[in-house]
Amino acid sequence: MSSTRAVPASMDGSHEIDTPARHPGWVLACVSVCTILVVGFVASINLAVPKLAASGLHPSASQLLWIVDAYVVLFASLVIPAGAVGDRFGRKGALIAGLVIFALGSVVSAAAGAVPVMLIGRAVTGIGAACVLPNALAVLIHATEPARRPRAIAIWAGMTGIGGVIGNVGGGAVLSAGSWRWLFIAVAPIAAGCALWVALGAPRSSRHDRPLDLPAAVVLTLAILALLLGITQGPERGWAGAFVIGSFAAAVVLFGAWTVMELRVAHPLLDPRLFKIPELRAASLGMLIVFFGMFGFFYLNASLMQYGRGFTVLQAGLGVVPMTIPVVALARFVPDLVRRYGQRTVIGVAFVVIACGIYGLATALHHGYLVYACWLVVVGTGTALSVPALTAAISGALPPRQAGVAGGLQSTTREFGSALGVAVIGTLLTARFTRHLSEVTPDVTSGGRTPGTVAEALAAAPGRHDAVIAAYTASAGTALKVVAALVLVVAVLILAEMTWAAHRTRRSGD
């Protein structure tokens, strides 16, 4: 897919010429571990939700969502600015700084004695992760010679899918050995070790002297924050409430202001005109919806396996391992599949497979684990096909000299999708759970209201365990079916956009 015909003149320029690394496999391994760390941390925290809910922090259902989402929201909001910082001041240095910030935030979270301190630590860790992901890809692009670059990018993209599963397994192992604090304590030295690895093994790449559009970065960050605030606070404050409506209105105004600001500067942070390219629009939306489904599922699945199936936290982490089988087996072959069958075919099949897999998981909640595991393999197959193809489509829209911004755009769509998935499925789950609970156990209350979490419900009525779990499982099934439907609807829109773009290209070439 070529996009140079649609890139604004202000974005053009000579490509950077960097000397590939002597050992590109070493660099690929290094940035893959960094990627697994920051992506896996999104998933691993979900396993700690039951322990956090019952901990001395006493978080509400909304606060639990924010303990999960504070990291992802800052992650999603800052990856494009962080990628631009790497392009301007050095990708290797930005990557190392991100890993150090990540480690510091983890230490703050581990020491938290109250929810506000926990949220600060999670936010700091998210800022570090935002520096890591786009600059990891940028370092890889500039360390790999062009002929090997597509396969290296495909393998790296596969790591973003594997990272979620490894986060579940590693998080489960750590949490089974101690309290939720051990999860944060464990990742800090890993991040520090990765920083040392990058310092020793990653090459430096050339920089550019384009100014950093700081005002646009601030406005874009605030716009994403406002949107996610509205989504996460909707169930608790009411969708028609002033706060929620105000958040959505602020998001619309801020996104509009960001667009105007970027169109007026000579060197935009992310030129909105790039989204005139239909393939780029489709690929960005596709990446968002893949991670929307994947991490929405991770948020729900961690508690579902522990409460609904009676798994230990380690068993719950190991329970998603079947998803990795197709990711490991297929990711490296996706570039060849795209060349042979075409991008639309591969992406279309991938989305249908993901939607069917998520719906299958919803129907398998009352079946044995083996049936559930088979549907996990189906979801993993769709992820293995979609993520590398979408990553290549997005990265191909920008020149190598803007590799950090390209990585930032990919990371933004992924992490925004992850945050959106957790927020939407979390709010759906809470709304359905409280409704089911009030129907089957109307006498169960906590603080004069229907409990919003399983931990609250079990504490309020320890003798109604089966009814509480049944209400939670039914709510989880409904939430998964809604997510499957959303994935399928968006897939149709994406394929329609790509088909229209291909038709327009053929007509212009005649």
Same domain, 159 and 55: yes
Residue 304 in this model has a pLDDT that exceeds 60:
yes
Provide the pLDDT confidence category of residue 89 given band limits of 50, 70 and 90. Answer: confident
User: How does residue 359 score in pLDDT terms, banded at 50, 70 and 90?
Assistant: very high
Nearest-Å Rg of the Cα atoms of the chain is 22
Residue 138, domain member (yes or no): yes
Answer yes or no: is 40 within a domain: yes
Has residue 17 been placed in a domain?
Answer: no
Regarding whether 127 and 227 lie in a shared domain, the answer is no
pLDDT range class, residue 13, cuts 50, 70, 90:
very low
Q: Which range scores top for mean pLDDT: 107-121, 222-236, 425-439?
A: 107-121
Q: What is the pLDDT of residue 22?
A: 63
Residue 191 is predicted with a pLDDT of 94
pTM flag (> 0.85): no
Q: Please indicate, yes or no, whether residues 27 and 71 belong to a single structural domain of this protein.
A: yes
Q: How far apart are CA 193 and CA 16, in angstroms?
A: 30
Q: What is the tens place of the pLDDT at every residue in 243-252?
A: 989 999 999 9
Q: Residues 318, 464: one domain? A: yes
Asked if residue 345 and residue 267 are part of one domain, the reply reads no
Q: Are residues 228 and 338 in the same domain?
A: no
475: pLDDT strictly greater than 80: yes
Same domain, 74 and 189: yes
Confidence of residue 446 (pLDDT cuts 50, 70, 90): low
61 phi-psi bin (left φ>0, alpha ψ -120 to 50, beta other): alpha
Share of the chain above pLDDT 70, in %: 86
Same domain, 151 and 243: no
Q: What is the pLDDT of residue 508?
A: 67
* Nearest CA-CA partner of 223 in 374, 78, 11, 368: 78
Q: How confident is the model at residue 11 (pLDDT cuts 50, 70, 90)?
A: very low
Confidence of residue 4 (pLDDT cuts 50, 70, 90): very low
Lowest-pLDDT range of 318-327, 422-431, 446-455 = 446-455
Q: What is the pLDDT of residue 299?
A: 77
**Predicted local distance difference test score (pLDDT) of residue 142:** 77
Looking at residue 67, its pLDDT comes to 87
Give the pLDDT confidence score for residue 362 in this predicted structure: 92
Residue 88 CB coordination number (10 Å):
16
Residue 15 lies in a domain: no
Mean pLDDT of 404-412: 66
Same domain, 247 and 335: no
Given a cut of 70, whether residue 3 has pLDDT beyond it is no
Asked if residue 1 is part of any domain, the answer here is no
- Name the more confident of 64 and 372: 372
When pLDDT is averaged across residues 218-242 and rounded to a whole number, the result is 79
Is a pLDDT exceeding 80 seen at residue 265? yes
pLDDT exceeds cutoff 90 at 378: yes
The region that residue 270 occupies, defined by phi over 0 for left and psi between -120 and 50 for alpha, beta otherwise, is: beta
Q: What is the pLDDT of residues 36-77, one digit of tens each?
A: 999 888 778 878 888 888 888 888 777 887 888 788 778 877
Say which residue, 207 or 195, is predicted with more confidence: 195
Domain final position from 228, 257, 276: 276
Residue 16 pLDDT more than 70? no
Q: Give the span between the Cα atoms of 354 and 380, in whole angstroms.
A: 8
pLDDT at 7 over 50: no
In this structure, of 68-77, 315-324, 391-400, the range with the lowest mean pLDDT score is 391-400
**Residue 295: pLDDT band with limits 50, 70, 90:** confident
pLDDT of residue 404: 57
**How many domains in the chain?**
2
Q: What is the CATH number of the domain that holds 184?
A: 1.20.1250.20
Note the pLDDT of residue 442: 66
Q: Which of 276, 296, 323 is the last residue of a domain?
A: 276
Task: Report if residue 439 sits inside a domain.
Answer: yes
Same domain? For 237 and 360 the reply is no
Judged by average pLDDT, the poorest of 205-214, 315-324, 357-366, 382-391 is 205-214
Q: CA–CA distance from 2 to each of 131, 190, 278, 392, 408 (Å)?
A: 28, 39, 11, 11, 19
Give a yes or no: residue 4 inside a domain: no
Question: In degrees rounded to 5, what are phi and psi of residue 446?
Answer: -135, 115
Q: Is residue 343 in some structural domain?
A: yes
Domain identity same for 356 and 492: yes
Written as six digits, the tokens of 117 are 């301190």
Spatial distance between the Cα atoms of 149 and 397, rounded to a whole number of angstroms: 15
Over pLDDT 90: what percentage of the chain?
21
More confident residue, 2 or 70: 70
Nearest residue to 291 (alpha-carbon basis) of 154, 416, 406 = 416
Give the range among 351-360, 364-373, 420-429, 435-444 with minimum mean pLDDT: 435-444
Please state, rounded to an integer, the average pLDDT across all residues of the chain: 81
Which of 259, 276, 293 terminates a domain? The answer is 276
Cβ neighbours around 493 below 10 Å, total:
14
Residue 443 and residue 324 share a domain: yes
Distance, CA of 115 to CA of 67 (rounded, Å)? 8
State the pLDDT confidence band at 510, using cuts at 50, 70 and 90: low
**More confidently predicted of 298 and 264:** 264
Facing residues of 449 across strands?
Answer: 446
Distance CA 60, CA 451 (A): 9
Least confident of 144-158, 183-197, 216-230: 144-158
Domain extent for 270: 214-276
pLDDT of residue 10: 36
The residue ranking higher by pLDDT, 102 or 432, is 102
Residue 492 structure tokens: 């149709």
Q: What pLDDT shows up at residue 100? A: 96
